[in-house]
Amino acid sequence: MPLAPPGRWRLRGTVLPQGERRELWLAQGRVWFEPVADCQTLARDCWVAPGLVDAHCHVGLGPNGAVDRETAEAQVICDRQAGTLLLRDAGSPLDTRWLQDRPDLPEIIRAGRHIARPKRYLRHYGVEIEPDQLVAEVRRQARRSDGWVKLVGDWIDRSVGELAPLWPVDTARAAIAAAHQEGAKVTAHCFGGQAALELVAAGIDGIEHGTGLDDSTIAQMAARQVALVPTLDNIDIFPGLADQAEAKFPRHAAHLRALYAGRRQTVIRAIEAGIPVYAGSDAGGTRPHGSLVAEIEALAAVAGAEFALGAASWRARSWLGRPNLVSGGPADLIVWRADPRIDLTTLRQPLAVIRGGWIVAGGP
């Protein structure tokens, strides 16, 4: 799409999360709290927040594995149009570093490829190895990533007909320690409870989905501030997965239905315990990009709109080491006509999305 130049803009409105009314000036791709000459008024009586953050998505991933470059670019453009300007890629078979050179696209924090065991995850998604190779593979993915490594913590074990951890505890502990030595953090896909319990005890930094978290695991995660990205909206696939599994794996089907029934209460318990919770769409694979707002709405139904917005904007940016709206900081922000804390439908119609001072969606 044609882009307005990274211009000189003036905004007057309510700035989130503080909720204070002020003026902002945008120039040289940065935000300024003091007047800057020759700025054109972009909006008055608006609401402004740091750009949205998708804390769990997969850029370059399609239903059958890696997609081509054109499709990967289209994915992040969909995210950008919805106001998402920072993506934490939670595993992809495509090397997307070339997208990071585009200043008009969302920033991507890459986690390399999923690490799984043979026949214990979705085909063509991840690197498939045996446990004795885990430490070396974690080091390799840590060096190829932007500071995160993604493990598949559990998946159905057909020999027992149920979810089961992929990695022996001592092996996982050694692999997580190796990642930390490389300067990377580790997160893991966990549907059931056992893998999450073991990986948290082994020193992991994040849990994705976390539908099976029990009170003991929640307490440990809160004590160590292990992050949770529950992908609540995408967990709605569980009843369909259970129906597919019923004939061959009835125990697994029943477990999925129980996890689904308790999903909201699990997130409430995590939040009440003090676990840092962030919003992730799980876009990629079979799920469309640009769907973060649906996850914000799902999280708001559990914890309220302001919590959900923070989980998808200012708190998530701080967690990932990126600035919010500070004088002299990057002009990565989203502008709305109304207060999204009162009406979340506002999120679907941004007045302007601005990336590095470029108006990339909406605008005059």
Residue 113 is predicted with a pLDDT of 97
Domain count of the chain? 2
Is 68 among the domain residues? yes
Residues 240 and 139 in one domain: yes
- Same domain membership, residue 274 and residue 137: yes
pLDDT at residue number 4: 53
Task: Quote the strand ranges of 100-180, DSSP E.
Answer: 107-109, 115-116, 127-128, 148-152, 154-157, 162-165
112-142 pLDDT per residue, tens: 999 999 999 999 999 999 999 999 999 999 9
Question: Within this chain, do residues 25 and 157 fall inside the same structural domain, yes or no?
Answer: no
CATH number of the domain encompassing residue 58 = 3.20.20.140
Examine residue 69 and state whether it is found in any structural domain, yes or no.
yes
**Residues 207 and 186: beta-carbon distance below 8 Å:** no
Residue 116 shares a structural domain with residue 197: yes
- Residue-level pLDDT at 2: 45
Do 338 and 217 belong to one domain?
A: no
**One domain for residues 131 and 14:** no
Residue 211 belongs to what H/E stretch? none
Whether residue 241 sits in one domain with residue 182: yes
Are 201 and 335 in a shared domain?
no
Same structural domain, 333 and 204: no
Q: Is the pTM of this model over 0.85?
A: yes
DSSP string covering 304-328: -HHHHHHHTTHHHHHHTT---S-TT
Our CA angle for 199, 107, 280, nearest 5°, is: 45
* Low-confidence residues of the chain: pLDDT under 70: 1-6, 364
Residue 1 falls inside a structural domain = no
Can you give the residue range of the structural domain that contains 40?
9-50+325-362
Q: Are 141 and 32 within one domain? A: no
Q: Residues 46, 189: one domain?
A: no
Do 143 and 223 fall within a single domain? yes
